[in-house]
Amino acid sequence: MDLTTRKLEFIQEFLKLQSEEAVSRFENLLNKEKENISAENIKAMTEAELNARIDQSEENFKNNRFKKSSDLFSKYE
């Protein structure tokens, strides 16, 4: 059975539920799963990556490759 079919069958069974408590438990489970997925997608930067970004930013600033915040704000006013 493919994933789409499983989801549809789950939805059909879910819609038959009459217990508010059961629906709440499923909501909590769904929210926890969404949090886990979000946490998995966030990858911490290593110290070396952070230092490389800092070095690049400083180099850009020295070479006048930056925009002032006032320029950015005026663009969107």
Report the number of distinct structural domains present in the chain: 1
pTM: 0.48
Q: For 47-75, what is each residue's pLDDT tens digit?
A: 999 999 999 999 999 999 988 888 888 87
Q: Does 14 fall in a domain?
A: no
The pair of structure tokens assigned to 60 is: 């850009």
Q: Does 8 fall in a domain?
A: no
Q: Does 10 fall in a domain?
A: no
Q: What gap in Å lies between CA 49 and CA 72, rounded to an integer?
A: 27
Q: Does 5 fall in a domain?
A: no
Residue with tokens 């929210």: 31
Length of the chain counted residue by residue: 77
3-state class of 16 per DSSP?
A: coil
Q: For 22-42, what is each residue's pLDDT tens digit?
A: 999 999 999 999 888 877 777
| CA-based torsion, 17, 22, 27, 30: positive or negative | negative
Per the structure, the complete domain to which residue 54 belongs is given by 21-75
